């Protein structure tokens, strides 16, 4: 039994995390923090948890958190995590961090894309990136894991095996992603106000989205050489789900069956990646930790199409998968 604390309880990733952990036989949630006044019940903030969790939201210092919990899930904004995580680790806790703070290896790249100096730069490049399909060995037993971004997860799971196999060019890869609205978080804004984004679709942050350097970096690791993607996210009127379509140039003699077989081989032992022949829909993965992926070759371009639930495999499900690996539980427990 592992005692768990969750920092930053008000958002959708925290809600999804609690839902999953409530099904986990080997964990107990002992503390939940947020900035709310007056210590409301968690179920006051998330009415769907009524009768399912009996905890109040508290304001706690890292030391207080670490005194109660062995493992801390940080669902905090970028920048905030890096100011707290060192204290949590020093106090003996282990951490799964949802923010981008420990994903990028290079503090300068972080500074360029996040417009701030990194608060804990020495740790960068040494924290396992929490995508077990690529980095399982580093995650097992780790004390800090950087939980991946939702878009990078969908893009990397489609492309990394082909880059590793040298089947596609590392340059000029197009990553056209479509996401449900929960990816924008729980703070009301005009762009995510129901009558604005319902029945509408639009691109946003094209070429400027902060997941770009993360995709570059992880794919670069897979390719063994620099990768620069053209990444364009789109907002889709649905709660959850990411569908990512990638376009890349084949290297040498490539056909559809070879591409699919490369994916199948790569993921043969993976519990949460399904290589399918049909075109997957995001709903096929909704509420699950699965990624469904397929590929096509069209007019000498290699296409991959991958689907995940952005709140599960793209966030809280991956976090629990990482937690399971860190602590030696069955990797699929509660998932």
Would you count residue 259 as binding a copy of itself (CB under 8 A)? Answer: no
Site string for a copy of itself, 22-61 (x = CB under 8 A): -x-----------------------xx-xx----------
Contact flag: residue 12 with a copy of itself (CB under 8 A): yes
Determine the distance from the C-alpha atom of residue 79 to the mean position of all C-alpha atoms in its chain, rounded to a whole number: 17
Q: Are 5 and 34 in contact (CB under 8 A)?
A: no
293: phi then psi, degrees, rounded to nearest 5: -140, 145
Closest separation in Å from C-beta 23 to a copy of itself: 7
Give dist(CA 303, CA 154) in Å, integer: 13
Contact 139, 104 (CB under 8 A): no
Determine the Cα–Cα distance for residues 9 and 130; give it in Å rounded to an integer: 21
Annotated catalytic residue within 71, 74, 75, 150? 150
Quote the Cα angle for 293-297-301, to 5°. 110
Q: Is 14 in the site for a copy of itself (CB under 8 A)?
A: no
Site string for a copy of itself, 121-160 (x = CB under 8 A): ----------------------------------------
- Part in contact with a copy of itself (CB under 8 A); list of ranges 1-9, 27-35, 146-154, 195-203: 195-203
Residue 150 known to be catalytic: yes
226 phi and psi, to 5 degrees?
A: -60, 140
- The region of 1-9, 65-73, 88-96, 171-179 touching a copy of itself under the rule CB under 8 A is 171-179
Look up tokens 């793209």; give the residue.
314
**Sign of the dihedral through C-alpha 213, 218, 278, 314:** negative
Q: Which residues bind a copy of itself (CB under 8 A)?
A: 12, 23, 47-48, 50-51, 172, 174, 176, 178, 180-182, 186-190, 192-204, 206-207, 228-232, 234, 236-241, 243, 245, 247, 274, 276, 278-288, 290, 292, 296, 298-299, 301, 303, 305, 307
């Amino acid at each position: 039994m592992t005692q768990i604390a969750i920092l930053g309880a008000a958002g959708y990733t925290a809600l999804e995390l609690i839902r999953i952990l409530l099904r986990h036989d080997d964990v107990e949630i002992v503390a939940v923090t947020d900035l709310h006044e007056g210590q409301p019940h968690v179920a006051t903030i998330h009415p769907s948890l009524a009768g399912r969790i009996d905890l109040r939201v508290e304001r706690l210092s890292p030391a207080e958190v670490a005194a109660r919990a062995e493992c801390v899930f940080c669902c905090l904004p970028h920048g905030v995590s890096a100011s707290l995580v060192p204290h949590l680790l020093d106090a003996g806790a282990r951490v799964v961090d949802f923010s981008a703070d420990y994903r990028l290896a290079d503090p300068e790249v972080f500074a360029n894309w996040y417009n701030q100096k990194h608060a804990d730069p020495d740790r960068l490049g040494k924290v396992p990136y929490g995508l077990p399909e690529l980095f399982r060995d580093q995650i097992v037993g780790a004390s800090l894991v950087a939980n991946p971004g939702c878009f990078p997860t969908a893009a990397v799971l489609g492309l990394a095996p082909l880059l590793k196999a040298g089947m596609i060019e590392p340059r000029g890869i197009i990553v056209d992603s479509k996401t449900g609205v929960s990816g924008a978080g729980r703070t009301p804004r005009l762009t995510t106000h129901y009558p604005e984004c319902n029945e509408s679709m639009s691109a946003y942050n094209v070429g400027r989205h902060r997941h770009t350097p993360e995709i570059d970096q992880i794919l670069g690791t897979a390719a063994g050489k620099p990768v620069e993607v053209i990444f364009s996210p789109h907002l889709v009127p649905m709660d959850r789900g990411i569908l990512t379509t990638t376009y890349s140039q084949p290297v040498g003699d490539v056909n559809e069956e070879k591409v699919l077989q490369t994916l199948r081989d790569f993921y043969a032992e993976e519990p949460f990646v399904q290589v399918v022949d049909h075109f997957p829909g995001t709903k096929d993965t909704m509420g699950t930790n699965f990624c469904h992926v397929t590929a096509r070759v069209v007019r000498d371009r290699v296409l991959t199409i991958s689907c995940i639930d952005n709140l599960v495999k793209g966030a809280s499900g991956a976090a629990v998968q990482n937690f399971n690996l860190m602590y030696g539980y069955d990797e699929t427990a509660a998932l």
